[in-house]
């Protein structure tokens, strides 16, 4: 198309690409970590390396997977949702109340709607009132915990709809508990959405370079709100599943869900600065955290020590995934 | 003023290259004691690099720097400060939440504290003394810095430099970077009065785009071009025109700007802007942009040309006026709508606003036009279509990269710029707004971009070109609008063989 010949002075040639495996270093490191953890716990306690225990891990990590996937969408855009745990807790209570009144599907539907509403408020606070997501969702966490307290009076709400527990814990496909199927299907859908749809592209673009995204015509505010709404809805779904597993709505457990999900997201390789990683990466992160938690349970590590270990894991995972070039100052 | 005293600054053969592209080459000049020296040159001539070397932010590759006769270690801003070097930047170096006196002694509090406790009153008194000494009567040392006007904050920065001189017993060397760009005429006058008053206690370097500023206060002028000092001469020995000749000085090469490829624009108006207005930046400007036309906007920094571009692209909301593309009005501040009507924008800040470095070329290239690479369901992105589109444009624009999967940040500036263009070409645009398309590119890469701009115009796309680089602007444009202080002051036709002279345009810029 051009009439001149290529100019030989055109600056330094682009570097030849990095090592072909370079892009997979993160995933390789995670797989090695998974193998190392399995080997370690298997040596510590033979009961760890059994089919039953692995089924256990699957059961225990389904809810975590849903919440971590939810959080990933928000962290991808460079924001954070600290209210995920509180949203799940509220959703378990909504489910427990609703399954008796409106049946199983009504329970799930109301829980999801509750979560989506929370997400809408979070997103709106950030986009329209310009409250940083960190603070908006921190405040929301407290508000939701308070609402949960009012709903439950601080004790578990036990429901009578046993069909619901059967639905959640029963199996339709391949002997997998339905809760695990739901989590895995959600993971597959979100991985597809983030990698192959406009919605996913835009979330990455907003997190990776908001100005670039805006210059390229991405309706930033709308997609930010959507990220929060989907996040909230998935937390609602997670709450419905948790209520099904436990047989009740539980007012506790919010903080450990928050900590574990953020640990899993960061371990998976979605940087808190946004723009990289994604739901497909979070699956591995959840696996790591689930094996770590279960392994510590099986080998008799106390709850307090587990908290310390997981806290350290988050800190080191963040230190490893931070793109230092992107930040001149960390506040 | 003693002429036998050691010079305040001596730069001796200083060179610095970034990624192999030289920014300054063997720069040598002297700032005498109590002198006011002007440093002039186009964007990219190396002024900022030189200031950076002097204040210790930039470590040069070679050369020597002597401050008050003593050899200075490079790359230690703290040491430069201890030798009295103070820089007053365009983007100001004060912390808005602190009080004026706190800013003035920031980092030097040790002198005003007893056992770790600050003696507030003595700091305030000292700050007041410094301000009095400098005849600065409109700044209260107890004011919150952020509440002051831009001009007042600038005076505080200058006072800070003199305050430093009280802590370290050295005469300050003050570097003023574009000091008047954000000042009103009255504030500027006050600043220049001040400079005449302060020079008995300091040596001063002024970097400015404004020839008027330079001739108003400098004794000597160092002219830079493409990273070299082309002259150091007394202000009396030259004139604004003569000086401009020196710093632009490069003969505009018709070949370089592909002038033989310039075509007359078509008759059809693609974009029309009427009464565009932005408070404090642009006053009521109107223009039409025709099919295949390259319309250039000239003006000094802050004249409003970038704001015009940004309003046209829907990135900056406008305070008045309207923009139409093909007869359809574009809502104010809606980049989404501007893009859907076919306006593309190539920003000046490529890395901040043009590409996302952590993603692949294909990913970046398809971002504005994802709808074009959807599969039949319209739901998901077709990897085949996306790859084809990327390959097509990377090949057509001759982007030198290992492949479409290469990360955008691994490319050279010129190739990154091609990817930004490719984003828009792949999407399809009727209007392309180019803000400093050649900025930061080496000679060869620029030439390729110029060729590309000709290609784009030849296909009928209307181009709005913003550039500080006059030869580039004149060489590429069909027509040039000159802006000064938010207003269009002149319009030039720039047909091949009848291109306006730079000096003619400059007259309307300053």
Q: Return the CATH number at B73.
A: 3.40.50.300
Q: Give residue B464's pLDDT.
A: 96
Strand order in the sheet with B62-67: B21-31, B9-18, B62-67, B70-71
Give B4: exposed, middle or buried? Use CB within 10 Å, 0-12, 13-18, 19+.
exposed
User: Residue B425 corresponds to which tokens in the numbers above?
Assistant: 């070409």
Residue B202: other Cβ atoms inside 10 A: 23
- State the nearest Cα–Cα gap between A67 and chain B, in angstroms: 24
Q: CB-CB: which of B383, B402, B455 is closest to A1?
A: B455
Angstrom distance (rounded) from CA B490 to CA B166: 49
Asked whether the predicted pLDDT for residue A6 surpasses 50, the reply is no
Chain B hits for A11, CB-CB cut-off 8 Å, are 20-21, 412-415, 441-442, 444-445
Report domain extents, chain A.
44-318
User: Residue B419 corresponds to which tokens in the numbers above?
Assistant: 């990817």
Whether B279 and B422 share a structural domain: no
- State the nearest Cα–Cα gap between B309 and chain A, in angstroms: 12
- State the nearest Cα–Cα gap between B508 and chain A, in angstroms: 31
Asked whether the predicted pLDDT for residue A80 surpasses 80, the reply is yes
Task: State the best of A6, A25, A193, A217 to mutate against chain B, taking most chain B CBs within 10 Å.
Answer: A217
Name the phi and psi angles at A249, rounded to 5. -90, 130
Whether B60 and B200 share a structural domain: yes
Q: Render A292-320 in DSSP notation, one character per residue.
A: HHHHHHHTT--HHHHHHHHHHHHHHHHHH
Whether B165 and B175 share a structural domain: no
Give B356: exposed, middle or buried? Use CB within 10 Å, 0-12, 13-18, 19+.
buried
Chain A hits for B335, CB-CB cut-off 8 Å, are 214-215, 217
CB distance from A11 to chain B under 8 Å?
A: yes
Asked whether the predicted pLDDT for residue A126 surpasses 80, the reply is yes
| Structural domain that includes position B459 | 268-342+431-442+451-510
- State the nearest Cα–Cα gap between B338 and chain A, in angstroms: 8
CB distance from A27 to chain B under 8 Å?
A: no
Q: CB-CB: which of A2, A217, A275 is closest to B335?
A: A217
Angstrom distance (rounded) from CA B353 to CA B348: 8
- State the nearest Cα–Cα gap between A64 and chain B, in angstroms: 27
Q: Domain ends where: B222, B250, B278?
A: B250
Residue of A nearest to B371 (CA): A198
If one counts the domains in chain B, the total is 4
Q: Give residue B253's pLDDT.
A: 66
pTM strictly above 0.90 = no
Full pLDDT tens readout for chain B, 510 residues: 444 578 899 999 999 987 677 789 999 999 999 999 999 887 678 888 899 899 888 889 999 999 888 888 777 777 888 888 888 876 667 888 889 998 888 877 777 778 778 888 888 998 999 899 888 888 999 999 888 888 888 888 888 888 877 777 788 899 988 887 777 778 888 888 888 888 888 899 999 877 788 888 899 999 988 888 988 989 888 887 778 777 766 555 666 788 888 888 888 999 999 999 999 889 999 999 999 999 999 988 788 999 999 999 999 999 999 999 988 999 988 888 999 999 999 998 888 889 998 899 999 999 998 988 999 888 899 999 999 999 999 999 988 888 899 989 888 888 999 999 999 999 999 999 999 998 877 777 888 899 999 999 999 999 999 998 888 899 999 999 999 989 999 999 998 888 888 888 988 887
Q: Sorting pLDDT into bands at 50, 70 and 90, what band is A113?
A: very high
CB distance from A1 to chain B under 8 Å?
A: yes
Helix or strand holding residue B361 (H, E): helix B361-366
User: Residue B72 corresponds to which tokens in the numbers above?
Assistant: 């200075």
Give the tens place of pLDDT for each residue, A282-323.
999 999 899 998 999 888 888 889 889 888 887 887 777 665
CB distance from A166 to chain B under 8 Å?
A: no
Whether B232 and B361 share a structural domain: no
Angstrom distance (rounded) from CA A28 to CA A22: 10
In 3D space, the residue among B230, B139, B263 whose CA is nearest the CA of residue B190 turns out to be B139
Contact between B425 and B417 under an 8 Å Cβ cutoff? The reply is no
The DSSP output letter for A7 is P
Residue B374 lies in a domain: yes
Residue B205 lies in a domain: yes
Do B381 and A217 lie within an 8 Å CB cutoff? no
User: Residue B177 corresponds to which tokens in the numbers above?
Assistant: 């970077």
Whether B76 and B29 share a structural domain: yes
Q: CB-CB: which of A2, A204, A217 is closest to B339?
A: A217
**Looking at per-residue confidence, does B433 or A254 come out higher?**
B433
Q: Give residue A328's pLDDT.
A: 47
Give B269: exposed, middle or buried? Use CB within 10 Å, 0-12, 13-18, 19+.
middle
Contact between B148 and B139 under an 8 Å Cβ cutoff? The reply is yes
Chain A hits for B377, CB-CB cut-off 8 Å, are none
Helix or strand holding residue A91 (H, E): helix A84-127
Q: CB-CB: which of A201, A205, A219 is closest to B336?
A: A219
Angstrom distance (rounded) from CA B214 to CA B243: 10
Contact between B235 and B226 under an 8 Å Cβ cutoff? The reply is no
Residues 176-195 of A with CB under 8 A from B: 192
Chain B hits for A18, CB-CB cut-off 8 Å, are 410
Q: Render B16-39 in DSSP notation, one character per residue.
A: EEETTEEEEEEEEEEE-TT-EEEE
Q: Give residue B259's pLDDT.
A: 83
Angstrom distance (rounded) from CA A69 to CA A14: 36
**ipTM of the prediction:** 0.78
- State the nearest Cα–Cα gap between B358 and chain A, in angstroms: 7
CB distance from A15 to chain B under 8 Å?
A: yes
Provide the b/e sequence for B233-255 (b: ≥16 CB within 10 Å). Answer: eebeebebeebbebbbeeebeee
Chain A hits for B376, CB-CB cut-off 8 Å, are none
Chain A hits for B425, CB-CB cut-off 8 Å, are none
Q: Is B41 left (phi over 0), alpha (psi -120 to 50) or beta?
A: left
Angstrom distance (rounded) from CA B53 to CA A316: 37
Residue A175: other Cβ atoms inside 10 A: 8
Q: CB-CB: which of B19, B371, B381 is closest to A196?
A: B381
β A248-249/B85-88 pair status? unpaired
Q: Give residue B3's pLDDT.
A: 46
Residue of A nearest to B379 (CA): A197
Do A11 and B444 lie within an 8 Å CB cutoff? yes
User: Residue A103 corresponds to which tokens in the numbers above?
Assistant: 């049946």
Q: Give residue B203's pLDDT.
A: 92
Q: Is it true that domain A44-318 has CATH number 1.20.140?
A: no
Angstrom distance (rounded) from CA A76 to CA A206: 8
In 3D space, the residue among B462, B456, B457, B413 whose CA is nearest the CA of residue B438 turns out to be B413
Strand partners, A36: none
Residue A41, SS3 per DSSP: helix
Residue B45 lies in a domain: yes
Contact between A294 and A60 under an 8 Å Cβ cutoff? The reply is yes
Whether B35 and B79 share a structural domain: yes
Do A208 and B359 lie within an 8 Å CB cutoff? yes
CB distance from A217 to chain B under 8 Å?
A: yes
Q: CB-CB: which of A4, A201, A212 is closest to B354?
A: A212
Whether B46 and B181 share a structural domain: yes
- State the nearest Cα–Cα gap between A320 and chain B, in angstroms: 16
The DSSP output letter for A175 is T
Whether B294 and B222 share a structural domain: no
Angstrom distance (rounded) from CA B371 to CA B349: 26
CB distance from A21 to chain B under 8 Å?
A: no
Angstrom distance (rounded) from CA B72 to CA B56: 9
CB distance from A219 to chain B under 8 Å?
A: yes
Q: CB-CB: which of B315, B357, B410 is closest to A215?
A: B315
- State the nearest Cα–Cα gap between A164 and chain B, in angstroms: 33
Whether B491 and B438 share a structural domain: yes
CB distance from A78 to chain B under 8 Å?
A: no
Do A212 and B356 lie within an 8 Å CB cutoff? yes
Q: CB-CB: which of A14, A196, A204 is closest to B410?
A: A14
Q: Give residue B165's pLDDT.
A: 74
Whether B80 and B101 share a structural domain: no
Total CB pairs under 8 A between chain A and B: 125
Angle at B477 between CA B474 and CA B481, to 5 degrees: 80
Residue of A nearest to B257 (CA): A4
- State the nearest Cα–Cα gap between A57 and chain B, in angstroms: 33
- State the nearest Cα–Cα gap between B463 and chain A, in angstroms: 17
Whether B67 and B207 share a structural domain: yes
Q: Sorting pLDDT into bands at 50, 70 and 90, what band is A117?
A: very high
Do B396 and A1 lie within an 8 Å CB cutoff? yes
Cβ neighbours of residue A136 closer than 8 Å, sequence gap 6 or more: A122, A125, A126, A129
In 3D space, the residue among A74, A64, A23, A128 whose CA is nearest the CA of residue A273 turns out to be A74
Residue B231 lies in a domain: yes
Residue B88: other Cβ atoms inside 10 A: 23
Chain A hits for B371, CB-CB cut-off 8 Å, are 198
Give B132: exposed, middle or buried? Use CB within 10 Å, 0-12, 13-18, 19+.
exposed
**In terms of DSSP H, where are the helices of B397-488?**
413-427, 443-458, 470-476
> Which has the minimum average pLDDT: A7-11, A43-47, B264-268?
A7-11
Contact between A273 and A321 under an 8 Å Cβ cutoff? The reply is no
Q: CB-CB: which of A4, A196, A217 is closest to B368?
A: A217
Angstrom distance (rounded) from CA B430 to CA B88: 43
In 3D space, the residue among A60, A69, A70, A26 whose CA is nearest the CA of residue A290 turns out to be A60
Angstrom distance (rounded) from CA A117 to CA B391: 43
Q: Domain ends where: B113, B146, B169?
A: B169
Whether B15 and B37 share a structural domain: yes
User: How many residues in total does chain A contain?
Assistant: 331
CB distance from A221 to chain B under 8 Å?
A: no
- State the nearest Cα–Cα gap between A16 and chain B, in angstroms: 6
Mean pLDDT of chain A: 86
| A203-220 average pLDDT score | 91
Helix or strand holding residue B159 (H, E): helix B150-167
Rg (CA), chain A: 21
């Amino acid at each position: 198309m051009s009439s001149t010949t290529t100019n030989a002075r055109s600056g330094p040639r682009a570097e030849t690409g990095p090592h072909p495996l370079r892009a997979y270093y993160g995933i390789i490191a995670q797989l090695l970590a998974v193998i190392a953890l399995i080997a370690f716990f298997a040596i510590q306690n033979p009961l760890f390396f059994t089919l039953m225990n692995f089924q256990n891990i699957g059961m225990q990590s389904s809810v975590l997977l849903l919440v971590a996937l939810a959080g990933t969408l928000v962290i991808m855009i460079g924001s954070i949702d600290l209210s995920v745990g509180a949203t799940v807790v509220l959703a378990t209570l909504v489910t427990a109340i609703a399954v008796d009144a409106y049946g199983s599907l009504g329970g799930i539907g109301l829980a999801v709607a509750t979560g989506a509403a929370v997400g809408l408020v979070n997103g709106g606070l950030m986009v329209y009132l310009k409250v940083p997501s960190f603070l908006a969702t921190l405040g929301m966490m407290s508000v939701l915990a308070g609402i949960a307290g009012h709903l439950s009076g601080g004790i578990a709400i036990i429901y009578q709809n046993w069909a619901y527990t059967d639905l959640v814990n029963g199996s339709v496909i391949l002997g997998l508990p339905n809760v695990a199927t739901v989590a895995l299907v959600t993971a597959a859908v979100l991985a597809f959405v983030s990698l192959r749809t406009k919605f996913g592209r835009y979330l990455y673009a907003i997190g990776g370079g908001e100005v670039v995204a805006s210059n390229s015509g991405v309706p930033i505010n709308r997609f930010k709100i959507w990220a929060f709404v989907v996040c909230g809805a998935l937390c609602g779904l997670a709450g419905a599943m948790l209520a099904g597993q436990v047989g009740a709505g539980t007012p506790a457990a919010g903080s450990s869900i928050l900590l574990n999900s953020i640990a899993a997201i960061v371990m998976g390789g979605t940087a808190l600065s946004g723009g990289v990683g994604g739901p497909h990466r979070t699956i591995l992160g959840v696996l790591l955290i689930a094996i770590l938690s279960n392994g510590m349970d099986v080998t008799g590590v106390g709850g307090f020590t587990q908290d310390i270990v997981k806290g350290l894991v988050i800190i080191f995972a963040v230190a490893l995934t931070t793109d230092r070039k992107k930040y001149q100052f960390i506040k | 003023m003693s002429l036998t005293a050691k010079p305040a600054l001596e730069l001796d053969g200083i060179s610095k290259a970034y990624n192999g592209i030289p920014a300054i080459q063997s720069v040598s000049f002297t700032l005498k004691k109590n002198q006011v020296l002007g440093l002039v040159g186009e964007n990219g001539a190396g002024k900022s690099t030189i200031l950076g070397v002097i204040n210790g932010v930039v470590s040069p590759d070679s050369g020597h720097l002597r401050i008050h006769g003593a050899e200075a270690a490079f790359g230690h801003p703290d040491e430069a400060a201890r030798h009295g070097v103070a820089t007053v930047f365009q983007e100001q170096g004060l912390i808005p939440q602190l009080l004026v006196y706190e800013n003035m002694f920031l980092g030097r509090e040790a002198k005003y504290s007893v056992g770790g406790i600050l003696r507030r009153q003595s700091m305030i008194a000292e700050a007041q003394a410094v301000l009095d000494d400098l005849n600065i009567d409109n700044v209260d040392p107890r004011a919150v810095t952020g509440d002051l006007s831009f001009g007042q904050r600038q005076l505080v920065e200058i006072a800070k430099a003199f305050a430093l001189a009280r802590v370290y017993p050295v005469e300050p060397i003050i570097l003023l970077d574009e000091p008047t760009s954000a000042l009103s005429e009255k504030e500027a006058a006050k600043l220049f009065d001040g400079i005449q008053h302060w020079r008995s206690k300091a040596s001063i370097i002024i970097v400015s785009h404004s020839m008027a500023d330079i001739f108003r206060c400098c004794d000597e002028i160092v002219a830079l071009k493409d990273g070299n000092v082309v002259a150091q001469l007394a202000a009396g020995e030259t004139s604004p025109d003569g000086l401009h000749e020196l710093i632009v000085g490069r003969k505009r090469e018709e070949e370089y700007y592909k002038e033989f490829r310039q075509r007359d624009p078509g008759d059809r108006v693609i974009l029309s802007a009427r009464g565009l207005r932005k408070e404090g930046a642009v006053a009521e400007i109107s223009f039409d942009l025709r099919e295949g036309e390259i319309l250039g906007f000239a003006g000094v920094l802050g004249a409003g040309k970038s704001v015009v571009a940004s309003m046209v692209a829907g990135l900056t909301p406008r305070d008045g006026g309207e923009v139409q593309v093909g007869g359809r009005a574009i809502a104010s501040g809606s980049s989404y709508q501007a893009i859907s009507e076919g306006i593309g924008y190539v920003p000046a800040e490529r890395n901040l606003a043009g590409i996302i470095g952590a993603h692949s070329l294909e990913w970046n290239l398809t971002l504005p036009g994802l709808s074009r690479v959807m599969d039949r369901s319209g739901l998901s992105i077709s990897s085949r279509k996306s790859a084809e589109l990327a390959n097509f444009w990377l090949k057509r624009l001759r982007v030198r990269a290992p492949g479409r999967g290469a990360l955008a940040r691994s490319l050279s500036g010129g190739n990154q710029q091609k990817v930004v263009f490719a984003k828009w070409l792949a999407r399809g645009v009727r209007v392309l707004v180019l803000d400093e398309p050649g900025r930061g590119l080496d000679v060869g890469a620029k030439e390729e971009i110029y060729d590309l701009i000709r290609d784009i115009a030849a296909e009928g796309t209307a181009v709005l070109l913003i550039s500080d680089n006059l030869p580039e602007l004149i060489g590429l444009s069909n027509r040039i609008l000159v802006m000064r202080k938010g207003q269009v002051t002149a319009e030039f036709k720039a047909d091949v063989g009848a291109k306006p002279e730079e000096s003619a345009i400059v007259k309307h810029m300053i």
